[in-house]
Structure 1
Amino acid sequence: MARYKDYNYDQMKMIPVSFERQILPGSFEYSLAYLIDNELDLSAFDQYYCNDENGRPAYDPRVLLKIIILAYSKGITSSRRIERLCRENIIFMALSADLQPDHSTLADFVSRSPEAVADLFSQIVLMCDQLGLIGKEMFAIDGCKLPSNASKEWSGTHTELKKKRQKIDRAVRRMLQRHCEQDSAEQSPGIQRHDEAEQIKKLRAVSRKIKRFLDTEPERTGVSGREVKSNITDNESAKIKTSHGVIQGYTGVAAVDSKNQVVIYAEAFWQGQEHGLLKPVIEGIRDTFNDSKSKSTLKKTKITADSGYHNREMLEYLEAEGVDAYIADTGFRSRDPRFKDHKEPRERNRRKDKERFTRSEFIIDRKKRTCRCPAGHALWLKAKRARIGHHLFMQFQAYEKDCNNCGLRKRCLRNEQQHTPRQINVALDITQEQKAGVIERMKRKIDSPEGRHIYSQRLGTVEPVFGHITDAVGIKRFSLRSKRKVDGQWKLMMMLHNILKIHRYGWEWA
């Protein structure tokens, strides 16, 4: 017969715990505690406390900051989970000196002080610079799109939200009408009517919520000046297209140094399009290093960014500021000889043009200036050099008699009922003013061997930072609302990334 050891729950074991000895040298929590206690100035948090003469003492911002950054390093952003860790996890108990702050204290500390967090982020960047972790040879700029604490189901233009409210009100009226008919017929109310009463209560609350939003919030306009979708929950967030679908969130932009992937500037924006985001990032980098010895950082450092930041206004701004930038355009890869055998992806959502004859199916001889359509008919030369925008084309057009009687008319014209015959534009060149323009200068610069070499470092510099935060650390969304608070949380994430760099490479004991 099997024998087992005796056990008894009616006993006590006293375990002495020294909180100071739990923070072991060489660990991340040791580096975090030393950094916050000895290197950072947290006086910016004092403005949020007014208990000099009355009121009970507040939790020290140093303690709260240690707890929150350590929790973020483990991918935990929920204040309730952090509160539980302070009660159950010995490392969090030691780091917080067993103060055990509640979840509302932790949540308020993160959400109400984004300006103080931004000041700490700048201090961390300058410390990385002093420790030699920033090379200042190349800064790569890119954005990471993350969902926010808002549902995209509550998004829409003011017209769409009005229609949604009217639809909800109609549904409520139908249910109330049905209840009135049941009362007239003296039918006993059943379970279904009780459920509908609860549903009516919820729908009316939703209708009032939409009405309050429409009465208090103006129509939201985008960069182009046209109206964009608002969001009732967080009106500063935006619907953003990503590779995983459409999300309701923010774009977190970061500028990363190429030496050790230290984030030198970070800011969250409400828009998904990145066309106008380069200028505030450049100015933010300049402000970060403004008080340091390296005031001419941007004069010596190369800036790289992908095609999302490429537009004439930004390129003109960079030239005016004297910034050595390498910004790719949408056709950069197609001009790269290394991708000459690269197959273009199949176009999506092609409807009527799916079976339409393309220009490559026409037989064109540029020297003889002749063109023949797939049906074998010759096209006449409409223009030797026609200008469309900044581009020059050789234009051919079919004869009306050939197009009207052609059996391939359906596959050649955009519309079978089209009266004008098919026209073909053959690209020849661009205008002289375009060749001398800022866009062509950037194309020549980035297509040079040196430009391709510099731009090729961008991907391996900035993308691992986003991968580290979202996959290695595990933070995949923002937990706050409004741009001000989300910006503070984004800087807190990037500050965690930089502190990990200091822990691994900046100090001797790491």
Structure 2
Amino acid sequence: MYREYNTNQLVLPFDLQVRIPQQHLARLIDFAVDQMNPTIFSSLYPGGGSPPYHPQMMLKIILYAYSNRIYSSLQIAKQLTENIIFMWLSGEQQPNFRTINRFRSERMKDVIYETFFSIVDLLREEGYVKLEDYFLDGTKIEANANKYTFVWRKSTEKYDRKLDEKFKQLSLQIEQVTEEDEEAEQELDLMEKLEESPISSEKIAETVKNLEKRLEKEPKNKTLKKVKNQLEKDLLPRKQKYEQQKSIFEGRNSYSKTDQDATFMRMKEDHMKNGQLKPGYNVQIGTENQFVVGFSLHQRAGDPGCLIPHMEVLDKYNRPKPKSIIADSGYGSEENYAYCEKEEIEAYIKYNTFDKESKRKWKEQVGRIENMDYDAELDEWICKNGKRLTFQYESKRKSDNGYESIKRTYHCTQCQGCPFQITCAKDKDTKTVQVSIENQKQREEVRKRLASEEGARKYGNRKTDVEPVFGQIKHNRKFSRFSLRGLSKNSTDWGLICVAHNLKKWDERRKNMIKLETY
């Protein structure tokens, strides 16, 4: 005997929410989006034309899709016709995939941070986050770009220099065929002026125009014709291409032709195990209690230069400053320590040699500045053999963020015959060290802070707070590659991922609390 089954008599309930449990994730998303300030979306629609879909409805279906590892607008549109939960969230409306993608990539890019921080404020009201301890970390996410369409800055600069040399050679050819008359002297004066100015596409184009005027008077001059054709058809297009490429770099070493905002970086997901660089973005997040409380997207591969721009995003949206920042040694730079001190934020950030300093092998390296004593009164360093390194000169270096670091150089001229000459001075007569006094003071403070009971506890929590978030997003939710192109669009995409993660985590914590109350 089977239970009665007949597809012709299958009737869905008129009210779809009857089929959705009270503690379902969709209901939490519906509640959270409804709590957001509606004025966030009002600026997205200037008016005119046919009435658009309600932005809150569009945001709800996208967030629920992202919570269920659905990132394709085609798949989201398909769910709106097949899945009753999507039908309930959309009010049985069915925007097509183009509308969904346009809303996600164009409408949301201007309000993604307002949307994200609205959810963070709800979490704060519910008591899940306090916005005090800020666990910062980063990871690389591959861009939606062909990994073989790369452009390298060094190659562009090298070919551009060769092109400039070629232009100078052609300019000399023009001078050689110039006759010694009044008109020719004017031509030579013009060429001298062009030589003084930097070579650009405008300069090459101006030279071509001058040659055209010259050829009108000397149409049978084959040398000038040849030079003009070479300038017009070869050098000018290439110079314009190199100038365009240089403007795209914006301080970067590479970019992809498919997604010009993506930079080639070394990824952890190296399936070929050959260290191949891939186009991608450096994603930075700040977490607390495994909730994402801040995010940013960067085009630089290194983490040290991302901390300040990341924190400036919080300042831009008037977010409360955390009491402390906890991050790994990748962020331990003089610039970042100085920023935290200026903003009155406690930095629980290791520097690159922190863990090595406690090992015996490190302490035996007498040539390292950390194993020397500093005489502040005389501004001299004293090595293990009692010899003094005296100050010689200082140099300044400015970072990409505008921070100026001062490096002081010290020499020891008494290395001859020292028993540590081979290991300390590398068998040279003079031992030279470069050191930032300010950074040495910062490192001493960091050592004391991390050695305290509170510092050990906070830094110990880093691995269980921020790193599992990346594991959840990249491994469990299968988000290891962007589907959109461009920095602004991918920032929106990552922001939606972070919002979906927070809602998913909120739903899990809520259900766990209900279970505990039931028991």
Query: TM-score if structure 2 supplies the norm length?
Result: 0.65
Deviation string for 1:117-151 (max 9, x for gaps)?
A: 21111111111111111134421111121011112
Counterpart of 1:268 in 2: which secondary structure?
strand
- Residues 1:244 and 2:269 are matched in the alignment: yes
In structure 2, the partner of 1:57 is 51
Per the TM alignment, residue 23 of structure 1 is displaced from its structure 2 partner at its CA by 2.7
Asked if the contact 1:143/1:252 (under 8 Å) is kept, the reply is yes
Equivalent-residue separation in structure 2 for 1:431 and 1:50 (angstroms): 57
- Once superposed, what is the RMSD of the aligned Cα atoms? 4.1
How much has 1:86 moved relative to structure 2? 1.6
**In the TM superposition, what whole-angstrom CA distance separates every residue of 1:410-442 from its partner, at most 9, and x where no partner exists?**
xx99xxxxxx99449999x99894686323332
Name the counterpart of 1:256.
287
The yes-or-no answer on 1:139 pairing with 2:130 is: no
Aligned to 2:298: 269
Partner amino acid, structure 2, of 1:130: E
Query: In 2, are the aligned partners of 1:148 and 1:479 still within 8 Å (CA)?
Result: yes
Q: What residue number does 2:328 align with?
A: 306
Offset of 1:106 from its aligned partner?
0.9
Matches within 5 A, 1:105-116: 105-112=99-106, 113-116=108-111
Kept in 2, the 8 Å contact 1:82–1:103? The answer is yes
Q: Distance between the aligned counterparts of 2:63 and 2:90, measured in 1? A: 12
Distance 1:387 1:331, change over 3 A: farther
Residues 36 and 62 in structure 1, CA contact (< 8 A), matched pair in contact too: yes
Indicate the larger mover: 146-155 or 441-450. 441-450
1:218 is aligned, of 221, 246, 249, to 246
Task: Provide the rounded CA distance (Å) in 2 between the counterparts of 1:131 and 1:394.
Answer: 65
Conserved? CA contact 2:135–2:466, under 8 Å: yes
Q: Please state how far the C-alpha of 1:494 moved relative to its aligned partner.
A: 0.9
Q: Which residue of 1 aligns with 2:313?
A: 284
Say whether residues 1:385 and 2:382 are aligned partners: no
| Structure 1: stretches of 5+ with no match in the other structure | 165-208, 343-357, 361-365, 367-380, 400-411, 414-419
SS of the aligned residue for 2:295 comes to: strand
Q: Is the 8 A contact 1:256 1:262 kept in 2?
A: yes
2:489 counterpart residue number: 485
How many residue pairs end up in the alignment? 390
| Amino acid in the other structure paired with 1:248 | P
1:473 to 460, 477, 480: 477
The structure richer in helix per residue is 2
CA distance in structure 1 between the partners assigned to 2:241 and 2:507 by the alignment: 47
Contact 1:76 1:475 in 2 (8 A): no
Q: For residues 446-457 of structure 1, what are the structure 2 equivalents within 5 Å? A: 446-457=450-461
1:232 and 2:267 equivalent?
A: no
* 1:392 Cα deviation after fit: 8.0
- Give 3-state SS (helix, strand or coil) of 1:331's partner: coil
Q: What secondary structure is seen at the aligned counterpart in 1 of 2:283?
A: strand
Aligned to 2:505: 501
**Aligned runs of 1:23-102 on 2, under 5 Å?**
23-37=20-34, 39-52=35-48, 55-102=49-96
AA matched with 1:104: R
The alpha carbon displacement at 1:397 in A equals: 6.1
Deviation of residue 274 (structure 1)? 1.5
| TM superposition shift of 1:98 | 2.5
> How far did 1:243 drift?
2.5
Q: Deviations over 1:246-301 (max 9, x none)?
A: 321111111111xx2221111111111112221233333345564xxxx5x53xx2
Question: 1:187-225 deviations in whole A, cap 9, x for unaligned?
Answer: xxxxxxxxxxxxxxxxxxxxxx99996564434556xx5
Q: What residue in structure 2 maps to residue 20 of structure 1? A: 17
The match for 2:177 is: none
Within-5 A mapping of 1:305-384: 305-336=327-358, 384=387
Q: Report the CA distance between 1:59 and its aligned residue.
A: 1.3
In the alignment, is the contact (CA less than 8 A) between 1:274 and 1:309 conserved in 2?
A: yes
Closer/same/farther in 2, CA of residues 103 and 391 from structure 1, 3 Å limit: farther
* Shift, 1:341, TM fit: 10
Residue of structure 1 in register with 2:380 after alignment: none
| Cα distance in 2, alignment partners of residues 450 and 63 from structure 1 | 45
Distance in 2 (alpha carbons) for counterparts of 1:432 and 1:238: 31
Deviation at 1:333, TM superposition (A): 1.7
Give the Cα–Cα distance (whole angstroms) in 2 for the partners of residues 471 and 421 of structure 1: 47
Q: Equivalent residues in 2 for 1:113-262 (5 A)?
A: 113-157=108-152, 160=155, 214=242, 216-221=244-249, 228-245=253-270, 246-257=277-288, 260-262=289-291
In 2: Cα distance, 1:28 partner to 1:309 partner: 36
Change (3 A) 1:341 1:494: farther
Aligned pair in 2 of structure 1 residues 243, 502: CA closer, same or farther (>3 Å)? closer
Distance 2:426 2:444 in 1: 34
User: Percent identity, aligned pairs only?
Assistant: 25
Q: AA paired with 1:43?
A: T
Q: How does 1:372-451 map to 2 (within 5 A)?
A: 384-386=387-389, 422-423=427-428, 433=437, 437-451=441-455
Q: Which moved more, 1:440-449 or 1:69-78?
A: 440-449
Q: Which residue of 2 aligns with 1:355?
A: none
**Residues 390 and 460 of structure 1, relative CA distance in 2, 3 Å threshold:** farther
In 1, Cα distance between equivalents of 2:413 and 2:351: 25
Are the structure 2 counterparts of residues 329 and 220 from structure 1 closer, same or farther at C-alpha, using a change threshold of 3 Å?
A: farther
TM-score for the superposition, normalised by structure 1: 0.66
SS at match of 1:248: strand
CA distance in 2, matches of 1:493, 1:424: 58
SS at match of 2:352: coil
**Structure 1 residues 391 and 88: CA distance shift in structure 2, 3 A:** farther
User: Aligned-pair distance for 1:394?
Assistant: 9.3
Measure how far apart 1:478 and its partner are: 1.4
| Residue identity matched to 1:472 | N
